[in-house]
Amino acid sequence: MYFIYFGKLLHLNSPRTFNEKLQWLKLYDRHPEYTQMVDKATVKEYVASIIGEKYIIPTLGVWENFDDIDFENIPSSFVLKCTHDSGGVVICENKNLFDVEKARSKLLKSMKKNYYYVGREYPYKDIKPRIIAEKYMVDESHIELKDYKIHLFHGIPNFIQVDFDRFTSHHRNLYTIDWKPLGKAIKYPAVYEREIDKPIVLDEMLELAMKLAFNIPYVRADFYCIGNKVYFGELTFYHGSGFETFSPKSFDEELGALIKLS
């Protein structure tokens, strides 16, 4: 897969780049707790035990089968997610306009898939497929919830990624931890002329991320910010499964040097 994406061999004996080292970590950095940390339901208990319940987006229900979802007793707006994959998400802004059959089709397709086999990301292999409903939330834009994705190396935050316009024309800006534009890009184009305000709770997010990333070679901790309130999003051990392009290409090696495999 690495060769198909990049047209060059993967050097597992002496990995140097960020993407190469993520492949190495998939194979050799295996801990049972990682499965709990990527399961969208059980991660909430794990995170709450470290940073507190107040940072957790409210759960409306968890079901093993789509047809067991009690739509009558959940709010008019909500988000449905599969607990065991990436991308199995359905957003409902108004239950009266909700296409149940379309949602069923999408989520049942995701329920049949073991996300481990997509990119061999070990933590996903043994997650029990379920569907979780969460409270629907938007930020100051009133149309989306921007991700503030903090990349941490051995527990130390290095840069922050902000994804926006995901449902129209996906863009991704990168910032230093003191909110200066990096002038670089990973996979999606950056639009640095579009000013994204520094979150007023940025220091709080960084502190929370460090608590969650303790003793982990690399992890990405995602948060949402609504006003002055921080909410936990997810933990990701292999950003882009180690198959995303960097601009400039040297950025791949620059980040790779931060992961110590010794």
pLDDT single digits (tens) 16-64: 999 999 999 999 999 999 999 999 999 999 999 999 999 999 999 999 9
Kindly report the pTM of this predicted structure. 0.95
User: How many domains does the structure of the chain reveal?
Assistant: 2
Q: What is the pLDDT of residues 77-134, one digit of tens each?
A: 999 999 999 888 999 999 999 999 999 999 999 999 999 999 999 999 999 999 999 9
Stretch (H or E) spanning 210: helix 202-212
**Are residue 16 and residue 47 in the same domain, yes or no?**
yes
pLDDT over threshold 80, residue 73:
yes
**Are residue 128 and residue 248 in the same domain, yes or no?**
no
**Are residue 189 and residue 125 in the same domain, yes or no?**
no
Does the bond joining 157 to the residue before it have cis omega, within 30 degrees of 0?
no
Q: What is the pLDDT of residues 187-202, one digit of tens each?
A: 999 999 998 999 999 9
Q: Residue 5: its pLDDT value, please?
A: 95
The parent domain of residue 224 ranges over 1-57+138-262
Assess contact for 244 and 19: CB atoms under 8 A.
yes
**Are residue 238 and residue 203 in the same domain, yes or no?**
yes
First and final C-alpha spacing in the chain: 25
pLDDT over threshold 90, residue 74:
yes
pLDDT over threshold 70, residue 250:
yes
Q: Residue 65: its pLDDT value, please?
A: 97
Cα–Cα distance for residue pair 90/191, rounded to 1 Å:
27
- Judged by DSSP in three states, 178 sits in coil
Reading across the β-sheet that carries 156-164, which strands appear in turn?
171-176, 156-164, 147-153, 218-226, 229-236
**Are residue 128 and residue 84 in the same domain, yes or no?**
yes
Q: Give the residue-averaged pLDDT of 215-242.
A: 96
**Are residue 143 and residue 223 in the same domain, yes or no?**
yes
